[in-house]
């Protein structure tokens, strides 16, 4: 039994004798309970017809319907008793594809499974769904003049059978014609690099959507509309109009945040997404935190494709605390990034001047670093909370005294992240970070802190303070006392394993263990941190509140960790 009623309704009704899809469809046809005397009368008068039509849509043409009405005030009572009866079954199916689409494999695949077959109970919804799929496929594949010329279901009520007829006449498959775009808004060469088709190619709606998506992802435009101009088609060629509206010339973002690594943080970002019609852009970011104040200017120039081949020129000023070292970095550089088959290849050159101070010892060195990187990221599900994925980043840089550097060195890093959900609500996250810097000539003490390796912090070994682990030296202070200082290592090995359980879609718990060290040759001393936490999933990534213990210490301590961000 199903009833519908409300405080302001004038009729309470129920439907009995039906279950599942039949009842759901009947209730949908009947609609909400009436709320006035006139609508109540209309509801009662039309109820039988609505129930009949609801059941016919599902193939039941001979139902028995009994309406029992009690005119009690202020609400009437209507009991609808239904016996759906014998269903009408499909007898013959006549589906024909006429015209050029008859030889199109996509239509062959579609008609191989139409959603119903001879002997099935007639279901008008499945017929309409297939009919719409046929028309939609025709539009996507370029049969823009295609039409349904026969569409009917012939029902023999007494025999409880039905014949289905559907004939689609495609006409010719059209091709892309002239591409119309305002070249004062975008450079012609830049636009051509974005194209996913060329005039003369067979029309394909998917390729139009890909072009629109690519143009939108450049952030050059506030609006992108790509439309076929069917009414102006000449022969089999359809012109394509690309309407572009320029994005705001400048935008400014203010950000605030906090993490246990770099404490409170305030940032201002100024973006110019399109400086000129050639697609140049710039981003200037100023950020303050007690640990890591910085400023960076980046100027981007598309080479062949603004999404897949870009040169970046940058200048950076940054201060940082590496272990017991205070460092200031001034850097200018250039990098070309090329995306190909899900991989990103980078080629870079940067000039780094770094000054640092530790226990009264000051140094300032210059490095010209030439290198490259290769990375790939795959994920399944949300980018901020993927069900699975694998992220890889490898970098290699070299510096030479003959090219103006204060050291001959070779520096390699690898960062790997793997996420898997073996069963629903149970997630595993693993990390591996490796690093090695080889000094071919020169003094180890002249290696700048930003080129050495440190461990500890929310993205490293939890349970230890940010960048508090590394090779140690003992110094004698003027008063004769000794002090042990962290100066970083020329090697890095860090691994992590974390288990997460989802209490809801937004909340999860975590258990983790991290281990590794930043060290010099022969001084590897594995440090282990372990703990637990609670994560809240937001659109910008999980908010993580965790407690971690430095379990490998003689006097282990707990650290509270607060951070925001996804694994990737």
pLDDT at residue 442, rounded to an integer? 73
Query: What is the pLDDT at residue 200?
Result: 95
Other beta carbons within 10 Å of 393: 17
Cα 380 to Cα 358: distance, rounded to the nearest angstrom: 46
Distance of CA 125 to the CA centre of its chain: 34
pLDDT at 261: 86
- Rounded-to-integer distance, Cα 498 and Cα 68, Å: 63
One fold for 89-169 and 291-564: no
pTM as predicted = 0.79
Q: At what angle do helices 20-30 and 37-56 cross, to 10 degrees?
A: 140
Residues 31, 32, 37: CA angle, nearest 5 degrees? 115
What is the architecture of the domain spanning 175-246?
A: Roll (3.10)
Q: What is the pLDDT of residue 358?
A: 83
Task: Specify the residue for token string 């030296």.
Answer: 473
Cα gap 288→28, rounded to integer Å: 59
- Of 539, 530, 533, 531, give the one whose Cα is nearest residue 563: 533
* 392 CB neighbour count, 10 Å cutoff: 15
Coil vs helix vs strand at 155: strand
Closest to 189 in 3D by CA, of 277, 276, 274, 308: 277
Q: What pLDDT is recorded for position 478?
A: 67
Q: Residue 104 half-sphere exposure, CB side, CA atoms within 13 Å? A: 25
Residue whose entry in the numeric block shows the structure tokens 């029992």: 68
Going edge to edge, which strands form the sheet with 89-98? 89-98, 161-169, 147-156
Q: Reduce the secondary structure of 481-506 to three states and give it as a string.
A: CEEEEECCECEEEEEEEEEEEECCCC
Residues 451-476 pLDDT 10s: 999 999 999 999 999 999 998 887 76
Helix, strand, coil shares of the chain as percentages rounded to 5?
Answer: 15, 55, 30
Residue boundaries of the structural domains of the chain: 2-83, 89-169, 175-246, 291-564
Query: What residue ranges of the chain have pLDDT lower than 70?
Result: 1-7, 476-478, 480
Give the domain 2-83 fold.
Answer: Ubiquitin-like (UB roll) (3.10.20)
Domain with residues 291-564, CATH architecture: Beta Barrel (2.40)
Distance, in Å, from the CA atom of 528 to the CA atom of 27, rounded to the nearest integer, reads 62
The two most distant CA atoms of the chain are separated, in Å, by 111
CA torsion, ordered 137, 138, 141, 142, to nearest 10 deg: -150
Q: List, in sequence order, every residue forming a beta bridge with 67; answer none if it has no partner.
A: 80
How many CB atoms lie under 10 A from the CB of residue 413?
17
- CATH second-level architecture of 89-169? Roll (3.10)
pLDDT at position 5 is 44
- pLDDT tens digit sequence for 281-315: 999 999 999 989 999 999 999 998 999 999 999 99
φ, ψ at 108 (rounded to 5°): -60, -40
Beta bridge partners, 494, equal 433, 516
DSSP 408-453: EEEEEEEEEEEEEEEETTEEEEEEEEEEEEEEEES-GGGS-GGGSB
Strand bridging mode 343-358 / 325-340: antiparallel
CA dist 414 to 320, 343, 388, 452, Å? 22, 15, 20, 14
End-to-end CA distance of the chain, in Å? 51
């Amino acid at each position: 039994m199903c009833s519908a009623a409300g405080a302001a309704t004038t009729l309470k009704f129920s439907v009995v004798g039906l279950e599942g899809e039949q009842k759901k469809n009947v209730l949908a046809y009947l609609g909400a309970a009436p709320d006035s005397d006139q609508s109540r009368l209309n509801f009662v008068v039309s109820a039988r017809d609505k129930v009949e039509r609801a059941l016919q849509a599902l193939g039941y043409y001979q139902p028995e319907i009994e309406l029992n009405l009690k005119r009690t005030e202020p609400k009437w009572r209507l009991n609808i008793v239904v016996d759906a009866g014998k269903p009408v079954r499909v007898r013959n199916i006549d589906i024909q594809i006429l015209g050029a689409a008859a030889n199109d494999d996509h239509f062959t695949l579609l008609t191989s499974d139409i959603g119903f077959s001879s002997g099935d109970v007639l279901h008008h919804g499945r017929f309409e769904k297939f009919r719409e799929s046929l028309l939609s496929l025709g539009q996507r594949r370029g049969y823009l003049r295609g039409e349904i010329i026969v569409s009917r279901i012939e029902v023999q009520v007494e025999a409880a059978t039905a014949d289905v007829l559907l004939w689609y006449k495609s006409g010719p498959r059209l091709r892309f014609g002239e591409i119309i775009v305002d070249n004062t808004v975008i450079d012609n060469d830049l636009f051509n690099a974005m194209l996913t088709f060329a005039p003369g190619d067979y029309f394909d709606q998917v390729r139009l959507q890909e072009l629109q998506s690519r143009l939108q992802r450049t952030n050059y435009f506030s609006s992108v509309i790509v439309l076929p101009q069917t009414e102006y088609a000449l022969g089999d060629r359809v012109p394509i109009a690309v309407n572009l509206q320029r994005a705001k010339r400048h935008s400014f973002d203010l950000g605030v945040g906090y993490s246990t690594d770099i404490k409170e943080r305030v940032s201002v970002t100024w973006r110019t997404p399109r400086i000129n019609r050639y697609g140049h852009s710039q981003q200037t970011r100023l950020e303050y935190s007690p640990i890591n104040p910085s400023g960076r200017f980046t100027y981007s120039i598309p080479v062949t494709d603004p999404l897949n081949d870009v040169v970046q020129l940058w200048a950076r000023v940054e201060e940082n605390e590496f272990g017991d070292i205070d460092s200031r970095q001034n850097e200018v550089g250039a990098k070309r990034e090329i995306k190909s088959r899900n991989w990103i290849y980078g080629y870079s050159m940067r000039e780094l001047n770094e000054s640092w101070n530790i226990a009264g010892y000051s140094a300032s060195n210059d490095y010209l670093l030439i290198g490259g990187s290769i990375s790939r990221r795959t994920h399944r599900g949300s980018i901020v909370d993927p069900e699975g994925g694998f992220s890889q980043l490898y970098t290699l840089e070299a510096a030479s005294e003959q090219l103006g550097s204060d050291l001959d060195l070779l520096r390699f890093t690898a960062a790997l992240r793997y996420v898997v959900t073996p069963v629903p609500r149970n997630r595993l996250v693993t990390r591996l970070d490796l690093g090695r810097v080889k000094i071919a000539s020169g003094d180890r003490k002249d290696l700048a802190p930003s080129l050495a390796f440190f461990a500890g912090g929310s993205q490293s070994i939890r349970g230890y303070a940010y960048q508090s682990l590394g090779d140690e030296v003992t110094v004698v202070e003027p008063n004769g006392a000794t002090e042990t200082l962290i100066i970083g290592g020329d090697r890095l090995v860090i691994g992590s394993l974390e288990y997460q359980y989802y209490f809801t879609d937004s909340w999860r718990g975590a258990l983790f263990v991290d281990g590794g060290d930043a060290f010099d040759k022969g001084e590897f001393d594995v440090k282990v941190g372990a703990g637990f936490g609670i994560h809240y999933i937001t659109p910008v990534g999980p908010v993580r509140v965790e407690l971690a213990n430095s379990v490998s210490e003689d006097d282990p301590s707990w650290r509270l960790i607060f951070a925001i961000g996804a694994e990737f």
